[in-house]
Structure 1
Amino acid sequence: MVRAAFFLSLWLLSLAAHAAPLRIGVSETLLSLPLYVAEAEGFFQKRGVNVEFVNCIGGNRCVKNMLDGQTDMSTATELPVVFNSFSRSDFAILTSFVSVANDLKVVARTDAKITEPGKLRDKTLGYVKGGASQYVLDLVLVYNGIDPDTVKLKAITPETALTALANKEVDALCIWEPFVSRIELELGTDVQLVPIPKLYTETFNLIAMQSAIKARPQELERIVQALKDSTQFIQTHPEKVKALAAKRLRVPVTLIDKIFDDYRFRLSLNRSLPRTMEGQGRWALRVGHVPSNLPQPNYTSFLYPAFLKTVDPSAVSLQ
């Protein structure tokens, strides 16, 4: 048995070495930790799959790169899937691998005196277009009885978020980690977090083009298996993965330690995901982010659970 396992391992490593790499757009965020771990701990090699990371900032950019043919797969929240679902259907979510209710935060300039969400009214607010930043900011405004038309919305990028606050181009903005921690580290007492309710639990997902699913199904299944290895490793080696995350994201490990327990790293595809996407689709239609005359897609058809069912059947509950 030991000898058989040894030769199987050699065979899988040989497959990984000779196959053309599957390119994955990996967003620069703590949400991508299972992929960082799989690479650092050799789980992709162990499972016999050759992977190449294409780094990107923001899941919306990762998905765009994938749809433009630059990658085979991408990481993102479900929202870029929803935005693109109105124009095409040649991609699908293979698995979620983390969920979190407060990865996105609202950061305000201290001199703007936005000590609570209700004080966002009549302010200039920054958001990242086409992603969860845009969605969460809208949720916060509406939940607090603020008509989005009564604020001035300014599109920013993750890279310009810090500068937008420092130069007083915006009074506050909605952004995700690690950009929040970097802003706090750089600007110190000049900024403060606005306490917002947990209105949205986001998932971070592995998304693949249908062409890759059809052409290389065994390798995609092995990638899902490697992510399962990673999520299990995260549970058993938290201090080691915190250090890895801090190095990859270029922030002090103390900042990772402060937010780490907010994230639930596990594979899943359950009924709450398409339900969330249906709500986001209605929101996108209602507020005009997509043409209002378009039909809303069936979001269950944007999930491809076959690989996860094989790797971890208990993680799939779509009925």
Structure 2
Amino acid sequence: MNAMKKASLLLFLLIIIIVSACSFGGSSKETIRVSEVTRSIFYAPLYVAISEGFFEEEGINLELTTTWGGDNTMTSLLSGGADVALVGAETSIYVYAQQAIDPAINFAQLTQTDGTFLVSREKLDSFEWDDLKGQTFLGQRKGGMPQMVGEHVLRQNGIDPHRDLNLIQNIDFGNVPSAFASGTGDFVQLFEPQATMFENEGIGHIIASFGTESGTVPYTVFMAKQSYLQEEEEKLVAFTRAITKAQQWVDEQPSDVIAEAIVDYFEDTDLELIEQVVDRYKSQGSYATSPLLQPDAWDNLQLIMDQAGELPQRVEYDQLVNTSIAEKVLK
């Protein structure tokens, strides 16, 4: 009887050990803290990865925080307040130029074009870029990626933004839409959903896309400190696999289905407006369909920064872009 009790006890302990091992190995979740630079329909694949359970499938518990601004986002990442930052790739160049001991490395792209649009106050039957000459143009904050892309596109179309326009750049990013709505400027460079909202309300009219005009650029990427990449590579492979699933899902699904999937992240925005914005971004290829950041896009980014006088130094692609994680996922 004692022998039977001992055997039963051993069997019970063995079952406990097996169950514990399974829970730690298979079903336990790895937490990844992500700081996003803003909350935007432009980042739809990220929210899809959450709402459709792609992170959960990869065993990831995602903690998402909106840090409102590139400086805040990078501070959060570099100080250890976040594991991953979703922000413009140009910020990694700024950090690198400051000779950071533990630089921020780009490992997956989310959007591959600029996300702003040219909006006119008056409805134009036809539009030529020369129509901007001599007009008051309400641009984005100097030194920011929207402003750099905006000036790049203007130059491409034969316009010197500082000589041919009455250029206003001293209004805070968040106040640009309200400034235009209250009567400032003949033309304005706007993100969504303000551009589509203004068109729906008759406040302005979308006449061109800076994203289409400027070409492929790593506009918004996921980055992590070099040390985190080295220590947690497999965790980031799982993270990137979830993002890739979402990118493919967004590429395949109609805009109304995508809007339904992300509507909970935009409580103050109508579902119909979200669908319009998603459709506009999808139609111009803003959502990356692969996490792999390409060398030509990296070169285009530095060209745009250089033309704007904001490139502190040229940085080689392989210095600040990690391709091994995306390549593992794509295999």
Which range, TM-score by smaller chain? 0.7 to 0.9
Distance 2:278 2:138 in 1: 29
Distance 1:195 1:301 in 2: 34
Which of 11, 16, 38 in structure 2 is aligned with 1:27? 38
Q: Encode CA deviations 1:13-67: one digit per residue, 9 max, x unaligned.
A: 6431xx5542332532233122101111222122112221112456675445434
Distance 1:35 1:9 in 2: 29
Distance 1:126 1:138 in 2: 9
Which of 304, 309, 312 in structure 1 is aligned with 2:327? 309
Alignment length, in residue pairs?
297
Distance 2:22 2:244 in 1: 18
Q: What does 1:162-311 align with in structure 2 at a 5 Å threshold?
A: 162-185=177-200, 188-195=201-208, 198-203=213-218, 204-238=220-254, 239-249=256-266, 250-253=269-272, 254-256=275-277, 258-259=279-280, 260-263=282-285, 264-267=287-290, 268-284=292-308, 287=309, 289=310, 295-311=313-329
CA spacing shift, 1:147–1:236, aligned 2, 3 Å: closer
- Aligned: 1:155 with 2:170: yes
Distance 1:257 1:45 in 2: 24
CA spacing shift, 1:57–1:251, aligned 2, 3 Å: farther
The amino acid across from 2:140 in the alignment is: Y
- Alignment-derived partner of residue 107 in structure 2: 94
CA spacing shift, 1:57–1:128, aligned 2, 3 Å: farther
CA spacing shift, 1:45–1:257, aligned 2, 3 Å: closer
Instruction: Give the conservation status (yes or no) of the 8 Å contact 1:49–1:223.
Output: yes
SS, match of residue 127 in structure 1:
coil
CA spacing shift, 1:141–1:15, aligned 2, 3 Å: same
Identity percentage over the alignment? 19
Distance 1:241 1:88 in 2: 41
Normalising by structure 1, we get a TM-score of: 0.78
Q: Encode CA deviations 1:159-184: one digit per residue, 9 max, x unaligned.
A: 21221102223332223223322333
| RMSD (Å) for aligned C-alpha atoms | 3.3
Gaps of 5+ in 1: 1-6, 314-319
Distance 1:105 1:87 in 2: 32
Distance 2:171 2:126 in 1: 19
| Bigger-Rg structure (1/2) | 2
The amino acid across from 1:95 in the alignment is: A
The amino acid across from 2:213 in the alignment is: K
Gaps of 5+ in 2: 1-19
Instruction: Give the conservation status (yes or no) of the 8 Å contact 1:127–1:156.
Output: yes
Moved more, 73-82 or 32-41: 73-82
- Aligned: 1:117 with 2:129: yes
Distance 2:185 2:110 in 1: 33
Distance 2:188 2:71 in 1: 17
Normalising by structure 2, we get a TM-score of: 0.76
Distance 2:21 2:116 in 1: 43
Distance 1:136 1:281 in 2: 8
Distance 2:132 2:75 in 1: 31
CA spacing shift, 1:302–1:195, aligned 2, 3 Å: same
Distance 2:123 2:252 in 1: 43
Distance 2:238 2:117 in 1: 34
The amino acid across from 2:174 in the alignment is: E
